[in-house]
């Protein structure tokens, strides 16, 4: 027999060494991560999600001792990049860093989608992006009540800027208009329209705080209200929309996602490191300069946020007949 030529190992030390080597090899194969991690960002280079994803990736790389490679795949309101992510193996080596609209707005605005929200596993919500109802410093509107009063007196005449149909600024202003019983004139801009807002060529906008905070500080833009459930540390004197319309909330956010089928142990590793970043003093200082709010929290917390926001935006889409091909 073939096995007869094999001589038994007489040295028990040699046997133990072989067993230990086998266990180490198996452990090395199971350890995550054991190779570079790719993070797809479905936005152009230099945009806020790209900048924040690179910040996150740099810290994750240092913590996990593996390169984190950020890959920008912009197009079709984040659909192009998200589709590329969900097509990858669910092994934790392809992740998605994106903004809220990818999973809480797109599924309701687009008639056909190459992905569904359940194709992604929420890992960690890294930050919240408050929006600000803003006007030019030369505007006659001193308060949100002034804006509402004029818009009711002139239905369809008061204009507002946004990044386009189905974006969070558009949806938040539509939600605000529904809450106040207004009919506003939507003017989409590729760049959000801040320049025309400052110049008074558009009446108002519900802008991400990072777009307008510097202009608020310089006196070129006047803030009327914020989308967050509570007042902001960066704009403590500015009331929330919820103070006039209880329950209103229209913030955006950035978050990290894995793919459906990713092992839970791998998700836990990514979530743990992401929470450490979100809770760090360095991260909080960095976000404070931009008016952004660190979040962190558990994957379960993130799931609850997505479910609540999906219900909210689905209603806004239906109430305003918002659709995209």
Residues 55-94 pLDDT 10s: 999 999 999 999 999 999 999 999 999 999 999 999 999 9
pLDDT at 172: 97
- Among 95, 119, 88, smallest CA distance to 33 is for 95
Q: 77 — alpha (psi -120 to 50), left (phi > 0) or beta?
A: left
Q: CA-to-CA distance for 68 and 86, rounded, in angstroms?
A: 18
Does residue 228 sit in the same domain as residue 259? no
Q: Is 9 inside a domain boundary?
A: no
In a domain, 299, yes or no: yes
Considering the domain architecture, whether residues 50 and 83 belong to the same structural domain is answered as: yes
What contacts 265, CB < 8 A, 6 or more positions away?
32
Instruction: Please check the confidence at residue 325 and state whether its pLDDT lies above 90.
Output: no
Q: Which 3 state secondary structure label does DSSP give 259?
A: strand
Split into its structural domains, the chain has a count of 2
Residue 26 placed within a domain:
no
Q: Which two tokens stand for residue 218?
A: 């310089």
**Do residues 123 and 143 share a domain?**
no
Segment 160-177 mean pLDDT: 96
Q: Last residue of a domain, which of 199, 215, 243? A: 243
**Pair (310, 293) in one structural domain:** yes
Prediction pTM value: 0.87
Separation between Cα atoms, residue 168 and residue 166, nearest integer Å: 7
Could you tell me if 119 and 213 lie in one domain? no
Tell whether 303 is covered by a domain: yes
- Residues 216 and 291 sit within 8 Å (Cβ to Cβ): no
DSSP 9: P
Residue 136 lies in a domain: yes
Residues 115-149 pLDDT 10s: 989 999 999 999 999 999 999 999 999 999 999 99
On whether both 123 and 257 belong to a single domain, the answer is yes
Q: What is the CATH number of the domain that holds 284?
A: 3.40.190.150
Q: For residues 228 and 142, state if they share a domain.
A: yes
Instruction: Name the H helices within 120-263.
Output: 144-153, 168-180, 194-199, 209-218
**Domain of residue 171, residue span:** 131-243
- Mean pLDDT in the chain? 91
d(CA 240, CA 132): 9
- pLDDT per position as a tens digit, 17-39: 433 444 333 344 468 999 999 99
Measured distance CA(155)–CA(134) in Å, rounded? 19
Res. 7: pLDDT tops 80 = no
């Amino acid at each position: 027999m073939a096995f007869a030529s094999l001589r038994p190992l007489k040295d028990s030390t040699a046997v133990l060494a072989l067993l230990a080597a086998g266990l180490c090899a198996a452990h090395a194969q199971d350890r995550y991560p054991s190779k570079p991690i790719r993070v797809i960002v479905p936005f152009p280079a230099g945009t806020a999600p790209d900048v924040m994803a690179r910040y996150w990736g740099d810290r994750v790389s240092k913590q996990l001792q593996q390169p984190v490679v950020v890959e920008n795949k912009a197009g079709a309101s984040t659909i192009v990049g998200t589709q590329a992510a969900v097509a990858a193996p669910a092994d934790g080596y392809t992740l998605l860093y994106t903004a809220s609209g990818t999973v809480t707005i797109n599924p309701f605005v687009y008639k056909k989608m190459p992905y569904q929200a359940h194709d992604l596993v929420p890992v960690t919500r890294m930050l919240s992006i408050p929006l600000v109802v803003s006007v030019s410093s030369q505007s006659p509107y001193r308060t949100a009540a002034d804006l509402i009063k004029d818009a009711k007196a002139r239905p369809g005449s008061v204009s507002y800027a946004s990044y386009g149909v189905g974006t969070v600024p558009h949806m938040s202003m539509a939600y605000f208009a529904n809450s106040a019983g207004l009919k506003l004139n939507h003017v989409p801009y590729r760049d959000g329209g801040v320049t025309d807002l400052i110049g008074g060529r558009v009446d108002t906008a519900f802008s991400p705080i990072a777009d307008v905070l510097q202009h608020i500080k310089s006196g070129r833009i006047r803030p009327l209200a914020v989308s967050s459930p509570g007042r902001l540390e960066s704009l403590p004197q500015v009331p929330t929309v919820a103070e006039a319309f209880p329950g209103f909330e229209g913030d955006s956010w950035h978050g990290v996602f894995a793919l459906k089928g990713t092992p839970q142990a791998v998700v836990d590793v990514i979530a743990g490191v992401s929470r450490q970043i979100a809770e760090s003093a360095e991260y909080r200082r960095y976000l404070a300069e931009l008016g952004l709010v660190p979040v962190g929290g558990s994957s379960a917390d993130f799931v609850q946020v997505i479910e609540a926001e999906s219900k909210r935006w689905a209603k806004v889409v239906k109430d305003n007949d918002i659709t995209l091909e």
